[in-house]
Structure 1
Amino acid sequence: MSAISGLGAGNTTANNNTIAPNGATSAEGLSTMFLDLLVAQISHQNPLDPMDGTQYVSQLAEFANVESLQSLKIDSGKNLELQASQQALQATALIGKQVDVAADTILLEQAAPVKGAVNLGVEAQSVTVRLYNAQGQLMEQQELPFTGVGTLRFAFEQQEAGGYYVQADANINGKPQPLTTLLSGEVERVSVGSNKDDIILQVNGLGNHALLDTNQLAFGGNS
């Protein structure tokens, strides 16, 4: 009975070693498990009909592949976690910076300019940007200087506190085409969403936006 108890205790220790800190079976644990199974297989084989040695070699080769894949999976998981941590750390450096986000409405808590940009994928004869207040009244209209395909920035000077709507369109081959507007705002805080890779920027007057949806740092840096 004592021999059986000792064997059971040894197996418990071996099994505990097969679990990695992240809950997955570690490569070292797989190796121990395989060797235990291989020893048990050899010990209990039929001496009148022993296994062919090539079968052991085949099993070792298959195990080596499994062990390599498991190690690769664990290393990849660690690298992804490290990248996510570094990305979150870099995102905190955006606090206090001006960024461009895809938006067409902005809420000014106090008097301030309304700035942003539009991206042109093809050449246009002209680009027009209009600023409306919350009541739909046209406050200002600008014809942007055209330099070809690329980013054109605009700025409506000091506006009173309140809500505003920005609309832009390009005249392409004689036809008006609506453009997606990017509005500029200061990053007030950075948080991580339900997914560790989901980093959210709270932009003043523009709400919450995913870091990956942030177009670029707005010209001018700090506000």
Structure 2
Amino acid sequence: MATIGNNFDYTSLNTKKTANRTEAEKQQDTFMKLLVKQLQTQDPMNPMDNAQTTSQMAQINTVTGIGKLNETMNQMQSLYAGTQVMQAAGLIGKEVLTPGNGFRFDGTTKADLRVSIPEGASDVMLSVFNKDGTEVAKIPANSSQPGLAQLEWDGKKADGSVLPAGDYTVAAKGQKDGKEIALDTVTWQVAKSVEFGSSGVGVYLANGGKTGFGDVIQIRSASGSTNA
């Protein structure tokens, strides 16, 4: 998903623009005034060197051009940020796949869970916990290939009994270089609201968590049909 830098200040989108001149324009004004003054007061028998004057004018024009280019880029960034605001607002009410460990089981549909497997890891195991922190299920990864591995949980305990609908969390572990390591997990959560602040776009999730707009991997409707 396309995104701009997270350091964009979205609070500036509604800031009233002023007609103040840029530093480059001020420098150009000062330079031209000095140049005119020099031409007016120069010694007719020893005039200014044309090559030096031309070089100075070229330098000030370069500075002015860079200043205008920066201004244009800032305007483009603001326009793109405005577009991203509309995109982010469209997440509200949908499920988003983001880094995290919380998810909701509806009591019937298999939960779609992901584990990030690093190079060289093996014996990857995903554990599911209920809201009290009790481990209720273990799911082994069928592959240790590096990347984002997809696992499903049918909502059942080891004895085959089905657990009730509700909020659950996951944790993953694996082996690497003879040591047990914790692995990152990715889960689906409903996006409840979005925030446009000085640090970028934040997405607030149904479980109380928050993620960055740029961290959203996939989007789907609450019914489960994929829209991303």
Normalised by the size of structure 1, how large is the TM-score?
Answer: 0.71
Amino acid at match of 2:77: L
**CA spacing shift, 1:68–1:199, aligned 2, 3 Å:** same
State the partner residue of 2:138: 141
Give a deviation string over 1:197-216, Cα, whole Å, max 9, x none: x0011121152211123344
Contact 1:134 1:165 in 2 (8 A): yes
**Segment drifting more, 112-121 vs 154-163:** 154-163
CA distance in 2, matches of 1:210, 1:194: 13
Identical pairs, percent: 25
Say which structure is richer in helix: 1
Q: Is the 8 A contact 2:124 2:144 kept in 1?
A: no
Q: Tell me the residue number matched to 1:165.
A: 169
Find the aligned partners of 2:154 and 2:21 in 1 and give their Cα distance.
58
Does 1:205 pair with 2:203?
A: no
Tell me the CA shift for residue 117 of structure 1.
0.8
Aligned 1:176-215 pairs, distance under 5 A:
176-195=180-199, 198-215=200-217
1:39 aligned partner: 36
Instruction: Please show how residues 91-110 of structure 1 align to structure 2 within 5 Å.
Output: 91-105=88-102
C-alpha deviations, 1:28-64, integer Å up to 9, x for none? 7765554343223212334454323333212212212
Residue in 2 that maps onto 1:221: 226
Instruction: Tell whether 2:56 aligns with 1:59.
Output: yes
Contact 2:124 2:173 in 1 (8 A): yes
Partner amino acid, structure 2, of 1:126:
D
Work out whether residues 124 and 172 of structure 1, in 8 Å CA contact, stay in contact via their aligned partners in 2. yes
Q: Cα gap change, 1:50/1:174 in structure 2, threshold over 3 Å: closer, same or farther?
A: closer
Going from structure 1 to structure 2, the CA distance change for 1:53 and 1:171 (only over 3 Å counts) comes to closer
Q: Which has the larger radius of gyration?
A: 1
Letter in 1 for 2:128: L
CA RMSD of aligned residues (A): 3.4
- Structure 2 unmatched runs, 5+: 1-16, 156-162
Residues 55-97 of structure 1: per-residue CA shift (max 9 Å, x gap): 3212212212112211221112112222222222222232233
The answer to whether the Cα contact below 8 Å between 1:100 and 1:185 also exists between their aligned partners in 2 is: yes
- Structure 1 pair 213/23, CA: closer, same or farther in 2 (3 Å)? farther
TM-score normalized by structure 2? Answer: 0.69
Gaps of at least 5 residues in structure 1 are 1-19
Instruction: Classify 1:179/1:22 alpha carbon distance in 2 versus 1 (closer, same or farther; 3 Å).
Output: farther
Go from structure 1 to structure 2 and tell me whether the alpha carbon gap of 1:125 and 1:187 turns closer, same or farther (over 3 Å shift): same
Once the two structures are superposed, residues 148-194 of structure 1 have per-residue CA deviations (whole angstroms, 9 ceiling, x without a partner) of 33322234345546654311122457654321111211112222012
SS in 2 for 1:151: strand
Residue matched to 2:14: none
Q: Which residue of structure 1 lines up, in the alignment, with residue 123 of structure 2? A: 126
Q: What do the CA deviations read for 1:72-126 (whole angstroms, capped 9, x no partner)?
A: 21112112222222222222232233222222245x5986875421122336543
- Higher RCO structure (Cα 8 Å, ≥6 apart): 2
